[in-house]
Structure 1
Amino acid sequence: MAKILVIDDNIDICQLLERFLTKKGYDVETTISGKNGLDMVKKTFFDLIFCDFKLRDMEGRDVLMKVREVSPGTQVAIITGYADVKIAVEVIKNGAFDYVTKPLIPDEIINLIERALAASKASKSNTQTFTKATELKKESDKTRQSDSKFLKGTGAESKKLYKEVALVAPTSLSVVIYGESGAGKENIARTIHDQSERAGKPFIAVDCGALTKELAGSELWGHEKGAFTGALTEKPGQFELADGGTIFLDEIANLSYETQVGLLRLVQERKLRRIGGTKDKSIDVRILVASNEDLRKAVLAGKFREDLYFRFNEFSIVVPPLRNRKADIEPFAYHFLELSNAELNKKVFGFDEQVMDVLKEYPWPGNLREMLNVIRRATLLTDGGKMSVSALPPEIVYSQKFNFIDSDADRTDRTENKGNKMPLNLKDAAAEAEAEVLKKVLEEVKYNRTQAAKQLGIDRKTLFNKMKQYDL
């Protein structure tokens, strides 16, 4: 039950409002003194206060300012016998929710109360959201990496992961980091580097999947001027640049067999020779590698050298996928929201409860990288306030229908089952989800295109084209 306080030096007004509002189901208290009213506010929370502009002991504007200090979540409506625009402007600028003029009209009072209580509820929600965001930010700041885009999780799986990181980081061991695409393998490698004696020295990350067979050698160990056509100047390789620090070789299994041979020599002898060079150079580099496939299986399949695997596999760490780290989804979401607000110059301060439910249920096949992209896109589509479900991509909202994470057997079975054609990629999934949403909205408005377009936030022409596209 909403609590309302009436402060008016006219006792008849107090009694009138108390009887009227009590019959309407509100919990009402009254006083004829501004100072007494402020004492009541200090002891009890009121959702709404009606305060006369001219009191015997103080002015309504002063009561308003004090209430804002003592109970910022309370809405204040000023009562005045003067239908003066200047007064209205002044009290609104000072933070009043609204004002009413005498004589009081019942319907106007009820309408004002309903609006004020709705605003009060939103204010409480916003305050809770900001408080939660602040708490999560404080927690994340404790675990923030040197790169502000990185954030440690705080759930059980993450704690286990970072316990292993803390164990191996101070050593000189090479580490194989396993994990799905986008799970944060480079984050783990950088954390190992930052917690080692090499912190402050170079950390070089190399995407082996982007290295062609022809250019891999030049990129990794460098070349001399004139070593090959186009080598107009000498170039140090990534291993030289990482000397004294750490090199991170991501997706190591993508290196060609010839490059693996050269890498084995470098790992064994800790020396490199630039392409076209005649002298070896000693290097001191800690090597961390990552793969989204089991290197043991790659060895058995003949894709990866066994001797190189044993050189690297002095210690291994598995980065769990985001779907197995449910406890981390909320702090990650707020962290990515903070980054997106800064990048896009937006002021989205939180998430609707529905949004968080969707984020926690979605299986995140693209892990943290996908989540960052989703939050960035949704932030761009949100005009202040809290993020709503409508800002999320349809494949996220309707992920239950499209079951992105499944076994190879399930995928094969679906492919072979002609009567159950399910999308096997996000583009198809998004199209089917969009068609489903369009169909649902059209049915709700009985195929009134004007209403459907308004509800969907698109124009009639776009709606017509999509209906034609999906044969609706």
Structure 2
Amino acid sequence: MQKILIIDDEISVCKLLSGYLQKKGFETASTISGKQGLKKLQQEHFDVVLCDYRLGDFDGSSIYPEIRKVAPEAVVIFITGYVNLQVAIDLVKKGVYQYLEKPLRPDDLLDTIRIALSSKAKSRHYPEPRQHTVVAEEQPVLGQDTSSRELMKSLSLVGPTDYSVVIEGETGTGKESIARLLHQFSKRKNGPFIPIDCGSLSKEIGASELFGHERGAYTGAFADKTGAFELAEGGTIFLDEIANLSLDIQVMLLRAIQERKVRKLGSVRLKEVDVRIVVATNENLIDKVKEGLFREDLYYRINEFTIKVPPLRERPQDLCLLVKHYLEKTGRELDKSICGLDEEVDFLLKNYHWPGNIRELKNMVRRACLLTEDGERISSAALPASIREHENSLLSDTVLPAAFEEAGEEPILDLKSQAHLAEAKHIRKVLHEVGFNKTKAAELLNIDRKTLYQKLKRFELKV
């Protein structure tokens, strides 16, 4: 019988988890402190350690190395009510199997434990995957916005499995970064991660890039070539913008996934491959299936689990976090100390629709940092024209809040509200007269631009 040690400083949690896991056929023991847990691990063998991240005497980052010293073979799973993506990434990189959020869903916990134990059993029978030199890639920045938390839950759930995953999201949302994070969460993390841009694959070279070719297989094939599937052996192959593959290549891809074998162009020999399939698209694949542009059987073969990456405009709470991250990163790169954004820029960024998503935001911050003096704040002059021009359309489309609308008979308001109504109407009239040029409007109103922006916020003058 497999044994699980539960370490949690809440006795009720220990009892609840012990009772549930015992009913599922596991032998359990529990302790209410990290110190007691480490002592228990020294005395007995455990297959799994289920540990709360925040204990009275340890946190996850400090107790994990100690667990590894006394129980190097145990699978370690952390549970916490305080999700922090960067902490989760760091722990997984160090060898933690999974990081689950409270309140725990029993089925998710049980699946995670069973998959972990199955992976551990397989590793005893197969050699360790070969190490690969991987170019460091930027990790996705996810904050505390609701959509980001849901994305994190999906990554935590499907990451440790071998499921094929479809990542859906607009251009610039960071789909490849999400795919790399899936790879980091998986038992294949020591294997290769091979990204392929399907949008750049023509019908002629697509098969060669994916499956390889023998010398002389076609005109110009002067040497043997190893395809992406073989390069990804023991790891993950990431097919970006898969909707762009030709139907001919889709047939070959379907066969390779079904049979888990590939044949190089010009060869008669099939070769077995062991890879995880992760794909990404900025289009609706079901629509492509209905249009006859994407094979239905391939769609259902690759779509064991779908992750939807939200666009930046749906992550308003994360905008400040992302800006801060890229300001610090670019500041280090340029050896500059950028002191943040001035109030006008903050207003503009929060009201911009970000069609290019995180990629556009990152490029905007890099450009603005380059144009801003060391020790200064970023001003609107450092912003690209697309954002400055959006500023005018933002105000030209502005409507007053319901209390200030001029539809029908005006309601009877108290003196303060009536004064606000008159002030808001006058500001909008002046802006309209000067073509929504804020500098001219501020001059005519005899206030500075900062005060003008404060009033725009106060009167809810937004799209």
Specify the TM-score bucket, using the shorter chain as the normaliser: 0.5 to 0.7
Distance 1:260 1:402, change over 3 A: farther
Q: Compute the TM-score of the two structures, normalised by the length of structure 1.
A: 0.55
Which one-letter code corresponds to 1:274 in the other structure? Answer: K
Greater CA drift, 320-329 or 356-365: 356-365
Which one-letter code corresponds to 1:297 in the other structure? Answer: D
Specify which of 155, 159, 164 is matched with residue 174 of structure 1.
164
Residue ranges of structure 2 left out of the alignment (5+ in a row): 1-83, 91-135, 398-433, 445-463
SS where residue 290 of structure 1 aligns?
A: strand
- Residue deviations 1:394-443, cap 9 Å, x none? 3213425447xx9xxxxxxxxxxxxxxxxxxxxxxxxxxxxx99977689
Distance 1:244 1:402, change over 3 A: farther
Alignment partners' CA distance in 1, 2:436 and 2:315: 33
SS where residue 225 of structure 2 aligns?
A: coil
- Residue deviations 1:181-231, cap 9 Å, x none? 001111111111110111111111111111111111111111111212221
Alignment partners' CA distance in 2, 1:143 and 1:214: 42
Specify which of 343, 351, 365 is matched with residue 375 of structure 1.
365
SS where residue 281 of structure 1 aligns?
A: strand
Specify which of 199, 205, 230 is matched with residue 189 of structure 2.
199
SS where residue 339 of structure 2 aligns?
A: strand
Specify which of 134, 139, 142 is matched with residue 87 of structure 2.
142
1:392 and 2:383 matched: yes
Contact 1:171 1:196 in 2 (8 A): yes
SS where residue 336 of structure 1 aligns?
A: helix
Q: Compute the TM-score of the two structures, normalised by the length of structure 2.
A: 0.56
SS where residue 203 of structure 2 aligns?
A: coil
1:278 and 2:268 matched: yes
Alignment partners' CA distance in 1, 2:440 and 2:175: 44
Which one-letter code corresponds to 2:265 in the other structure? Answer: I
SS where residue 249 of structure 1 aligns?
A: strand
Match of 2:224 in 1: 234
Residue ranges of structure 1 left out of the alignment (5+ in a row): 1-138, 407-435, 447-472
Greater CA drift, 146-155 or 373-382: 146-155
Distance 1:190 1:334, change over 3 A: same
Contact 1:157 1:325 in 2 (8 A): yes
How far is 1:140 from its partner?
Answer: 7.3
Mapping for residues 403-414 of structure 1, pairs under 5 Å: none
Mapping for residues 171-320 of structure 1, pairs under 5 Å: 171-320=161-310
Q: Radius of gyration: which is bigger?
A: 1
Distance 1:444 1:296, change over 3 A: closer
Which one-letter code corresponds to 1:260 in the other structure? Answer: Q
Alignment partners' CA distance in 1, 2:329 and 2:265: 42
Contact 1:205 1:248 in 2 (8 A): yes
Alignment partners' CA distance in 1, 2:378 and 2:298: 48
Alignment partners' CA distance in 2, 1:277 and 1:305: 26
Contact 2:139 2:181 in 1 (8 A): no
SS where residue 150 of structure 1 aligns?
A: coil
Alignment partners' CA distance in 2, 1:326 and 1:337: 17
SS where residue 340 of structure 2 aligns?
A: strand
Which one-letter code corresponds to 1:299 in the other structure? Answer: V
Match of 1:365 in 2: 355
Percent identity over paired residues: 49
How far is 1:339 from its partner?
Answer: 2.4
Contact 1:149 1:339 in 2 (8 A): no
Alignment partners' CA distance in 2, 1:344 and 1:213: 42
Provide the aligned C-alpha RMSD in A.
2.5
Alignment partners' CA distance in 1, 2:271 and 2:214: 13
